[in-house]
Structure 1
Amino acid sequence: HLSFSYGYARSTRTAAQAYEERVGVCRDFAHLAIALCRCMNIPARYVNGFLGDIGVPQDPAPMDFSAWMEVFLDGKWYTFDARHNTPRIGRVVIARGRDATDVPLLHTFGPHRLTTFKVWCYEQESHPATPPMQGVDRTLTTPLLA
């Protein structure tokens, strides 16, 4: 069992450290779950992106990126989210890799500051030509990175 808090974020935390410390953010949950799968020779990969609020109460926290994993079973990749541990829809995949170092959300040199990003997620209706009826419009106005 790991405890989640944005205050636990540390980009250098390994899967072993997450297991020992029992704390982390979604990146750490994904890394630990991937490591455990690989110990059992189950192929697993890291995914980063955005997780919409479709079908669940809207999160009052500022919009943020998310991480989860995909596991290859019986010839197909399946999505698992060790942090939320509940079925969710509205995932927007940005990248897939072996771990977070394969697919960082940002490559930069020097100071940087993210001031805003917007993602709109709409649940598909039964007919593809039907326009979406409900959506998520979450705007981040506070910096994620200082």
Structure 2
Amino acid sequence: MAKELTLAELQKQIAELQAKEQEIIQAEKATVVEEIKAKIAQYKLTFEELGFKAPFPTTIELVAPQKNSNKGKSQAPKVPVYRNKDNHEETWHAGKGANPKWIENLINANLADKKQKNEKGNDVVPRKILIEWLDSNGYKIEANQ
């Protein structure tokens, strides 16, 4: 009758077997890789046929420059700085470009008297005034929210 193993003895055997497994894998890996490469070459298999996505464009059309590229522009996501009190899904990062509709509605309701003509002749509230108003009226997202 076989001796009952303690948990510690069983764990030691498992560790020894796993170490032996890694030794065998390392010893056989180079040969296996060469065999696989030979079969890929022999059958002219593609990344897609093997279930992988090609790590680089595979046609000239994919490499051609695109007209409206974002070269030189940050691809980092914009972090929202302000949140609409009435709809918490509406946020604004206070960056360049047009203001979101909810910000425009706040301007029209609360800051219409602060509007000035910009260089294009449009009525706008200066960014500094808008930011100060948003900060002082509880629209700024605090770090712990």
TM-score by length of 2: 0.16
Greater RCO, 1 or 2 (C-alpha within 8 Å, sep 6+): 1
Greater C-alpha Rg? 2
TM-score by length of 1: 0.16
Would you tell me which structure has more strand in proportion to its own residues?
1
Would you tell me which structure has more helix in proportion to its own residues?
2
